[in-house]
Chains A and B, each alone.
Chain A
Amino acid sequence: MRIPPARPRALPARLLAAGLGLTALTGFAGPASAEKIFVSNERDHTVTVIDGASLKPIETIKTGRRPRGITASPDGKLIYVCVSDDNRVEVYDAATYALVRTLPSGPDPELFVLHPSGNPLYIANEDDNMVTIVDTATGQKTAEIPVGVEPEGMGISPDGKILVNTSETTNMAHFISTDTNEIVENVLVDSRPRVAEFRPDNKHVWVSAEVGGTVSVIDPKSHQVVKRLTFEIPGVTAEAIQPVGIRITRDNKTAYVALGPANRVAVVDTETFAIRKYLLVGQRVWQLAFSPDESRLYTTNGNSNDISIIDVAAEKVTKSVTTGRSPWGAVSVP
């Protein structure tokens, strides 16, 4: 059960790391491609920036109040943060950490998703039952889509054609056409749905239900629930199992589901739906983010105030890194 130190998986990566180390030692600026992990800290009103090579925090960015949802532009140059208590989205430069601009949202934005092209941004506003669409180039709101009560989770299909929003109170996943901005279908899921995540091949969308304790796997074409996943962990009460964050590997084979106060991440085979492992991470594990090369998965742990680092190939937790208070979301850029 010894936790081994984080190690690069392949020889080229190791050489690269050594190279970066050397560069740092000799005082030259490192290449701009060094991985950085951005973590939003809900209670500190900050974003912690962690260097992907050393896994050490290198900067703390002061944000608006209550930063939660966090994502990056497709080129990795901009970081978008939902600052829920200031009712807006802030955009930061991933290299200089400067605030570039703010974008409008509805009241209490919690989560959002960028169109795969980088524009527009779809924002779930928890307090007015609307999804706001914002043009990231002009910074203008272009439309609002009425959805269920307390909209929260946001997922977009890899081709950008279907947006899925979940509403916590209505307990539905709303399938929205991005061409018409109209709801195509509403799918009933379990209590308090939190996150919607598409498989990269568009075959299924996974929706987690925090209070229901399940994940519904939905066929985005027929809108049928093809599987309702449940979780059982020896020594953990059922009520502590609260699925939230979901990530699926690019090869579509493995899904990771964060289970909240169970402090575990379930590793799930996406074809058989067998649960291979329940990895013990930090306390109240919330959202998940892959490293750009997908060799690592980062988990935000709201009550232990850290992120855990999972070696994706080994399916093992290798390390934890302290962040600010109540880390909520994370995104990693090259």
Chain B
Amino acid sequence: MRLIRPAVLAAALALGAAGGPAAFAQEAPAAGPKTPLPAPTPRAVQPGQGKQADHADWPCVQPRVAELSYGQMWAGPPLDAALTAWRDDALVRETIPTLVARRTKTEEAETVLRRFAHAAGADKNAKLTLLFAGVFSEINASRSAVIAGIERYARKQRDLSERIKTESLQLASDRKGKDMAAQMSPELQQKEQTLTWDTRIYDERAQALTYVCESPVILEQLAFERGRAIQALMD
């Protein structure tokens, strides 16, 4: 459709010449955009993708977000002091393990929180703030550990894939030129079995990666859910 534009433009110009400036002004919009479309460009940068280049070991589809920021789940005042002070509060320290455990059910966490808020009495808001700071710090720390673990896992997979490649090339070269009996020697059979096992381990780990990669997201959801429940109890 854009190919015919020069013709349209020429027609408009001709009209303009014949009918004066008014006629030209009416036809002018058909001349097409002042700013043309650029030549085809490669696909867009995905969110967070710009940061991925530094992390060649990151094997997940999910973007690698090294750390959570508390403002993503906290609408209250800045937490700077609370992020260290929570450790000095015995009740907060005691309550946190239940809240950060993935196995703790939502209803159970809510009961724990209500009890905590009740015990805090007049200090409720300040104590709940400390509690959130603690929950956030702990989940963020275990999430960072999970991310480091995923990268370790990916490096091991890469090493294993290298080994499989070497083993398979070696086996092929060992068999080359040998008759069937020699090819079936216990030594070569042993090598073949090792290769089969390594390949199987690699495949199983690759499948497990899909679930492993969900872990950081699950932990982020947990931190958000606890944050929401804590804030619901504040005045």
Which A residues are closer than 8 A to B by beta carbons? Answer: 1-3, 145-150, 168-172, 174-175, 177, 180-188, 191-192, 210-211, 223, 233-237, 239-240, 242, 260-264, 279-280, 282-283, 303-304, 320
Contacts and interface: CB of A to CB of B under 8 A. Distances in A.
B232 A211 contact: no
Closest 7 CB pairs of A and B: A235-B71, A236-B71, A280-B75, A169-B44, A1-B234, A168-B44, A185-B33
Name the residue in B36, B75, B221 with the highest tally of chain A Cβ atoms < 10 Å from its Cβ: B75
A208 to B, nearest CB: 13
B107 to A, nearest CB: 14
A237 B30 contact: no
B97 interface: no
A236 B69 contact: yes
A53 to B, nearest CB: 23
Contacts, number: 120
Interface in B195-235: 217, 220-221, 224-225, 228, 231-235
B71 A169 contact: no
A183 B74 contact: no
B41 A149 contact: yes
A140 B40 CA distance: 29
Contacts of A186: 33, 35-37
B180 interface: no
A149 B43 contact: yes
Contacts of B47: 192, 210-211, 242, 260-261
A145 B1 CA distance: 8
Contacts of B231: 1, 3, 280
B74 A280 contact: yes
A2 B232 contact: yes
Interface string B34-54: 111110111111111011000
A236 B69 CA distance: 5
B188 interface: no
Nearest to B234: A1
